[in-house]
Amino acid sequence: MKLNHRLRIGVLGFFLAATLMFGCGKKDAKNMAPDFSLQDLSGSTVTLSKARGSIVVLDFWATWCPPCLMSIPELVELQEKYRDSGLVVIGISLDDPGRVSDSDLLAFKEKLKINYKVLRANYDVVKNYFGTENMSIPTMFIIDRKGRILEKHVGFRPGLLEESLRKLLS
């Protein structure tokens, strides 16, 4: 009787561990990048769904964040280098519009020669991408051609983003 009971507990434990490790299917739906509709600095509406078919780097950043500022030249270089391979970089500014106006943000973009779209974050996009977790910036999401989040990079480490992108763009 004890052996049979142990066997049942072992089998149940195995299935519980497998479920926790591998999930219950529909993993793609959970990893889908939330779509958004945000304004760029010229007032045009930008949606993530329009970039479907491209590899997207979604960069959450702010003008007052030193690591964010250090990452911008690399993002500019990656956008230039891999644009023809289907890379789309989108910067989502978390700057307070009361402190950094659209014209200030546009001047900042021109000064740093940012060659990708810069959008203003809203509550929904922050909630959809970060939920209730503590948010650190810069945070970059790598989204594949099907719209799935493949990686999330928190902070800036030179070269790490390109290493991830090379695998996807080759």
Active-site amino acid positions = 65, 68
Query: Can you state the percent helix, strand and coil of the chain, rounding each to 5?
Result: 45, 20, 30
Number of H helices and E strands in the chain, helices first, is: 6, 7
Alpha carbon separation from 26 to 22, 29, 30, 31, 72 (Å, rounded): 11, 6, 7, 9, 35
List of E strands, the chain: 37-39, 45-47, 55-61, 87-93, 117-120, 139-143, 149-154
